[in-house]
A = this chain, B = another copy of it.
Amino acid sequence: MPILIKKRSQKAGLPPGTLVHIGERKVEKVRITIFDYDADQFQEKEAKTIEESYPFRDKPTVTWINIDGFHDTGIIEKLGNHFGLHPLLLEDIVNTEQRPKMDDYGNYIFIVLKMLYYREERKAVEAEQVSLVLGSNFVVSLQEREGDVFKPIRERIRNNKGRLRKAGADYLAYALLDAVVDNYFIVLEKLGEQIDDIEQQLATNPTKETLGHIREFKREMIFLRKSIWPLREVVGGLERCESPLIHKATGVYLRDVYDHTIQIIDTVESLRDILSGLLDVYLSSMSNRMNDVMKVLTIFASIFIPLTFIAGVYGMNFANMPELHWRYGYFEIWGVMVLVAVMLLIFFRRRKWL
């Protein structure tokens, strides 16, 4: 189950801008990869130290610096100093409990996102925080650990596919954003399949486990909403902001991501609606079952209790009980009992209990 509230206690009271890594440490070593390109040339390197990325700041080509793992706050601090980033921005990067947001700092734009994966083996959604810093000719992306949804973008840079190599840093930032948002669809697809499974279970054989699944899902939905809703403002903000960092031509692409975001929010809300419908179905199937149990009890008890009473009557030891001495008394009383039972069965059938 996703954790809603992470430990921040160790941070309370420190001066703003102090870099404290909040969240679990998900990777051993920090890994820095650099892509530098324009329409004609392309260079890819893995940097050993953050200092290797410094010269790219002033090159006219577009540079993409990707950092996996930022628990080593020293690296973040050096990066911040060289690229002139605000201390609060650095603080936000290392605090993995950040809400998705977009801040325009004038000569760079800061974006925080949640990258969501569906882990097939654990049947659960996992989140990783991604920060993007968009400058005039560079994008710095920071992730909690290795492994991301940017592989196709790397391929497009390497193979010069699409507009990417021809466009500026803002288009690269858009492409990264789009890759993250596109992956949400896959996550929702998987969740939708799981919800269909639960619905199937509910229709055939609802158990306590089914309720547990519904509950876990609801919690996952709460978590997803928290990650996805703010995205609307983030992408909408980017589209509307009149920063010179974002070219007009990129606007139409941002509009496209915005549409996707709305669609994702719609789907999350629909899934939530369906889920709460499932809970109602579960409760009423419980109620149906109780009804069934009660009916069985009532039919058994109502038929046999009168019969037992009749048998009891003729088990009495009164000295003077004429029926006991009738010749076919025993058989006649069997007749009476069968008659009573049949009448009761007819009564229950009329009530549609049988």
Contacts and interface: CB of A to CB of B under 8 A. Distances in A.
B4 A192 contact: yes
A195 to B, nearest CB: 9
A44 interface: no
A83 interface: no
Contacts of A313: 311
Interface in A116-172: 149, 151-153, 156, 161-164
19 contacts: A8-B182, A8-B185, A8-B186, A15-B156, A15-B164, A15-B175, A98-B263, A203-B212, A279-B280, A293-B298, A294-B294, A300-B301, A300-B302, A301-B301, A308-B308, A311-B315, A316-B317, A318-B329, A319-B325
Interface of A is mostly: helix
Interface in A317-354: 317-321, 323-330, 333, 351-353
Interface of A: 4-5, 7-9, 11-18, 86, 88, 91-92, 97-99, 101, 103, 105, 149, 151-153, 156, 161-164, 175, 178-179, 182-183, 185-186, 188-189, 192, 203, 205, 208, 211-212, 215, 218-219, 222-223, 226, 252-253, 255-256, 259, 262-263, 266-267, 270-271, 273-274, 277, 279-284, 286-298, 300-302, 304-309, 311-321, 323-330, 333, 351-353
A80 to B, nearest CB: 14
Given A223-B270, A293-B294, 19 more contacts: A5-B185, A8-B182, A12-B182, A12-B183, A13-B182, A15-B163, A15-B164, A16-B253, A18-B162, A91-B256, A205-B352, A287-B287, A292-B351, A293-B295, A297-B298, A298-B300, A301-B301, A304-B306, A314-B318
Nearest to A283: B284
Contacts of A226: 266, 270
A244 to B, nearest CB: 19
A7, A287, A302, A316 pick with most chain B CB within 10 angstroms: A316
Nearest to A292: B351
A253 B317 CA distance: 94
A18 B188 CA distance: 22
Contacts of A281: 211, 215
B188 A270 contact: no
Contacts of A297: 294, 297-298, 301-302
A180 to B, nearest CB: 10
A318 B326 CA distance: 8
Lowest 3 A-B CB distances belong to which pairs? A13-B152, A15-B162, A311-B312
Nearest to A219: B274
A99 B262 contact: yes
A4 B287 contact: no
B13 A151 contact: yes
A316 B293 contact: no
Contacts of A98: 263
Contacts of A161: 15
B8 A189 contact: yes
A125 to B, nearest CB: 14
B88 A252 contact: yes
A318 B270 CA distance: 70
Contacts of A203: 212
A104 to B, nearest CB: 11
B5 A259 contact: no
Contact of A312 (B183, B308, B320): B308
